Amino acid sequence: MADVLEMAPLGVTVEIRRSAADTEGELVEFDVVGRARGFLAQPHVHTAQTESYEVIAGTMRLDVEGRKHRLRPGDTMSVAAGVAHAQRPGDAGTGRVRVQVRPAGTTEEFLRRLADMCTRGDVLRGGWPRPLAAAALVRDFGDEGHAARPSLRVQKKLAGALLRAASREYRFVDEWDVAAPPEAVFAALSDGRSYPEWWRPVYLDVEAEGDPAVGNVSRQHFKGRLPYHLRTSSRIVGFDPPSSLEVDVDGDLRGHGKWTLTPADGGTRVRFDWQVFADRPLLRALTPVLRPAFRWNHNWAIKRAMEGLEPYAKRYAA
């Protein structure tokens, strides 16, 4: 039985007849039923795939590099990789076209993404995706298939800029050397209760359920240079003394942090990988505007850690 994907805003239903798993990646075969509209009917290019068509019912117009071909029931035609083409409905009425894409690549994932977009309301009237959804398609599938114009390079730049502007995700990587042994540095970083002692004035208060271990939860109250206070809870999800520590964070900020420690010149090389989402309502609304300020705020907080961690770890080691 075919796997049916409903794409009403795009004017079609897609029935997957043979999947990549069925053919070990050789091809994917599906029927397109209906009258495609919007971006489905626009010129596009498959970078390394051949697309073949067989009209089962109705008619289809296939435009290939400026030449128009009208296909009727029983007609077949193929388009080579790298050739711009567009599939458009022919005469009035519903059509059924059988499509094969070789090799299968990520075609199924693309079709399922389109179905999900239609369900979520990410496809507007007339069959055009919302800007962010379209940008995500370029990011995730552009190397395999993309609109014929503008160039893929331009599409990627525009999509990347749009996704960055709209994203509430931040990624930070900070590294520095601490003149103290890894064991002492790890002890300071893994026990959040020590933060108000050495990570000042960032951390105001930290409570924890017990000594550091996988599953341990602590609650933090902290601030930066920007005029707001944040409250979070952190759960240790990775604990490998004295080499690495990983935590999941929830609350006013949601994210994942990883501390990695390596011996370096008699001391310790510290690396902090921090991925965070600004989920507090005000921050969520202002993220696109204040992104540079948030990065500045993070850099200020890390400098305070650099100033306080080394003397604290030295005292701990002594």
Mean pLDDT of the region 118-128? 93
Mean pLDDT of the region 160-167? 76
- Share above pLDDT 90 across residues of the chain, in percent, rounded to a whole number: 79
* pLDDT for residue 239 is more than 80: yes
* pLDDT for residue 38 is more than 70: yes
Cβ-proximal residues to 239 (8 Å cutoff; 6+ apart), any chain: 190, 212, 213, 214, 245, 246
Cβ-proximal residues to 154 (8 Å cutoff; 6+ apart), any chain: none
Check residue 24 and give its pLDDT: 96
Assess contact for 212 and 191: CB atoms under 8 A: yes
- Residue that the structure tokens 């693309």 belong to: 110
Which amino acid is located at 312 in the chain?
Y
**Beta-sheet pairing, 50-57 with 76-79:** antiparallel
**Average confidence score pLDDT of the chain:** 92
Angle at 172 between CA 222 and CA 223, to 5 degrees: 10
Which amino acid is located at 300 in the chain?
W
* pLDDT for residue 167 is more than 90: no
Check residue 122 and give its pLDDT: 94
* pLDDT for residue 176 is more than 80: yes
* pLDDT for residue 22 is more than 60: yes
What are the tens digits of pLDDT across the range 194-238? 999 999 999 999 999 889 999 999 999 999 887 778 899 999 999
Instruction: For the chain, list the domains and their CATH numbers.
Output: 3-128 (2.60.120.10), 169-317 (3.30.530.20)
Sign of CA dihedral 172, 177, 182, 185: negative
Higher-confidence residue: 293 or 23? 23
* pLDDT for residue 145 is more than 70: yes
Mean pLDDT of the region 103-131? 94
Check residue 95 and give its pLDDT: 94
Check residue 286 and give its pLDDT: 55
What are the tens digits of pLDDT across the range 243-289? 999 999 998 888 899 999 999 988 999 999 999 876 656 555 555 55
* CA distances to 4, 52, 250, 272 from 276, in Å: 37, 44, 10, 12
What are the tens digits of pLDDT across the range 42-92? 999 999 999 999 999 999 999 998 899 999 999 999 999 999 999 999 888
Round to whole Å and give the CA distance between 82 and 144. 10
Closest CA to 121 of 133, 108, 105: 133
Q: For residue 283, what are its two tokens? A: 């921050």
SS3 track for the chain: CCEEEEEHHHCEEEEEEECCCCCCCCCEEEEEEECCCHHHHCCEEECCCEEEEEEEECCEEEEECCEEEEECCCCEEEECCCCCEEEEECCCCCEEEEEEEECCCCHHHHHHHHHHHHHHCCEECCCEECHHHHHHHHHHHCCCEEECCCCHHHHHHHHHHHHHHHCCEEEEEEEEEECCCHHHHHHHHHCHHHHHHHCCCCEEEEEECCCCCCCCEEEEEEECCCCCEEEEEEEEEEEECCCEEEEEEEECEEEEEEEEEEEECCEEEEEEEEEEEECCHHHHHHHHHHHHHHHHHHHHHHHHHHHHHHHHHHHHHC
> How does residue 312 score in pLDDT terms, banded at 50, 70 and 90?
very high
| Residue 247 burial class via C-beta count within 10 angstroms: exposed 0-12, middle 13-18, buried 19 and up | buried
Q: Could you check whether the bond before residue 73 is cis, i.e. omega within 30 degrees of 0?
A: no
Check residue 224 and give its pLDDT: 87
Check residue 204 and give its pLDDT: 96
pTM over 0.85: no
Closest CA to 42 of 153, 154, 150, 125: 150
Closest CA to 286 of 239, 218, 227: 227
> How does residue 293 score in pLDDT terms, banded at 50, 70 and 90?
confident
